[in-house]
Amino acid sequence: MREEFVPRDHHVLVKSPNYRQQALRRRVAAAGGVLVIALVSAVIGVLSHRQGETVGEPRTGPFSYLSE
């Protein structure tokens, strides 16, 4: 039997991803992380808002964050 058809029990070396593939993987992972953070924050915002609660007029101005 030829050697290429003999079952092997050891690991076969594979080619590692090149620079472009690694960069694409990092970009996809970063975009996915941003999406996950956005979804989690949206869910927390929806769950923390009481039903029927209305928000009054927004206070705007340079020091409006101090008046709360």
Predicted local confidence at residue 67, as pLDDT? 63
Alpha-carbon span 43 to 67, nearest angstrom: 27
**Is residue 1's pLDDT more than 60?**
no
Residue 68: predicted pLDDT: 57
What are 11-64's pLDDT values in tens digits? Answer: 777 788 899 999 999 999 999 999 999 999 999 988 887 776 666 666 677 777
Give residue 46's region: left, alpha or beta (phi > 0; psi -120 to 50).
Answer: alpha
- Please tell me the predicted confidence (pLDDT) of residue 13: 76
CA distance 56 to 68: 13
Residue boundaries of the structural domains of the chain: 17-42
Q: Between these two residues, 3 and 35, which has the higher pLDDT value?
A: 35
What pLDDT, on a 0 to 100 scale, did the predictor assign at position 35?
Answer: 97
